[in-house]
Amino acid sequence: MAKKLLIPIIIVLTVFVLAGIPQLISVDGNGVVFNWRVSLDSAVNYLKGLPSGQSFLFIARKMPRNFLDLFPGYTLTSFIYLVIAAFLGLNLGIILGMFCSRLRSAVFKDAIGLFGIIPDFIIVLLLQRGVVYIQKATGIKVAKVVAMSLTEPAILLPLITMSLIPALYLIRTVSNHTDFVLSREYIQGARARGLAPLYIYLHHVFPNVLPFIKADMHKVAGMMLANLFIVEYLFNIYGITRALFYYGFQFVRYSYVVNYQYNFVVNVLFVIIFLYAALSLLMRGYILLLERKFCR
């Protein structure tokens, strides 16, 4: 019980400490200085400004804005991308992973492994490059390379990237677990009773692979969130992580000023942690649903 109470406290503390770090560490002359005072004051001011709503105000393009008005839109955008990508990635990863365990081809495993180490930003840049190449060669615009405005968002390429990351991870883990499950005696028993291979896969192998990947869901959610930062930034999607870098760390045009908005960053970090929790719960729920459906 005490531990359960401790976790939210640690999360809140981590957010305040992390948000204070850009103000804490700076350079003065030839050395690094630590401004404990400034970052502590920021945290105190945030807490003081909570009742009046002062802590939710921030500056966007030289205009004062309220975080409470803007964050539902940003969060929803990010959440929709995450949910669709999670749905595609989970199903693709599980199906292909179970199928892959039948393939013993080294080339295939090499390809999956190689794909797995390619970082997300390279996948994004290659996809963008590919679309431009196709357009130049054939004149057909297959997908939008980058969103130019809020009303015309890029959809296809971000979703491909975002579902590819969990899918590749799941293909590897699911095929390993399928190998393990297939060597168990109850599969032999099922075979001996003359059950069809497809039936065994659906009702014996599949439900026994699911618990392994259910335990991995928080990891997958973390990977997808890391991916979200890159995808929103490179495709110019108006989501919550893009907002963090556009308004939290503002590089001001025509001046050397670099603005850091402590209150805004704290608010966004809380939203991101909420998104993570929601996503991993949703994915666990989905796996649970599959378990119910296929367990006999």
Partner 1 sequence: MNIRLAVGIFLTALIVAVAIFGPWLAPYEVSDDKKIEWVETEDGMQMVFAPAPPSRANWFGTNRWGYDILTLLLYGARYTVFSVITVALVRVVLGGLAGLLLGLYTELKSPSFNFSCLGVLPLFVIVYFFVFGININSTLSPWTLVLLQVSLLSIFGIPGVAAVIQQKTGEIKKQEFVLAARTIGAGKWRLAFKHILPFLKETLVILAVHESIAVLNIQGQLGIFNMFLGGTVFTPNPMLFHSRTHEWAGLVGQAKNYVSANQWILAFPLLAFMIALVSLYYLSRGLEDYYRDKYQPYRHA
Binding to partner 1, residues 118-157 (CB under 8 A):
118-122, 125, 128-129, 132, 145-146
Out of 99, 212, 245, 294, point to the residue binding partner 1 (CB under 8 A): 245
Binding of partner 1 by 230 (CB under 8 A) = yes
Cβ proximity to partner 1: between 6 and 59 the closer is: 6
Cβ proximity to partner 1: between 25 and 150 the closer is: 25
User: Which token pair is 220?
Assistant: 């997958």
43 Cβ partners below 8 Å, 6+ apart?
16, 19, 20, 262
CA angle 234/235/236 to nearest 5° reads: 95
Cβ proximity to partner 1: between 159 and 273 the closer is: 273
Cβ proximity to partner 1: between 165 and 213 the closer is: 165
204 Cβ partners below 8 Å, 6+ apart?
181, 186, 187, 190, 195
CA distances from 67 to 5, 60, 263 (A): 28, 10, 10
User: Which token pair is 13?
Assistant: 């503390």
**261-280 footprint of partner 1 as x/- string (CB under 8 A):** --------x--xx--x----
Whole-angstrom distance, CA of residue 106 vs CA of residue 111: 9
User: Which token pair is 99?
Assistant: 């199928």
Contact residues toward partner 1 (CB under 8 A) are 3, 6-7, 10-11, 14, 18-19, 21-27, 29-32, 110, 113-114, 117-122, 125, 128-129, 132, 145-146, 218, 222, 225-226, 229-230, 233-234, 245, 249, 251-256, 258, 260, 269, 272-273, 276
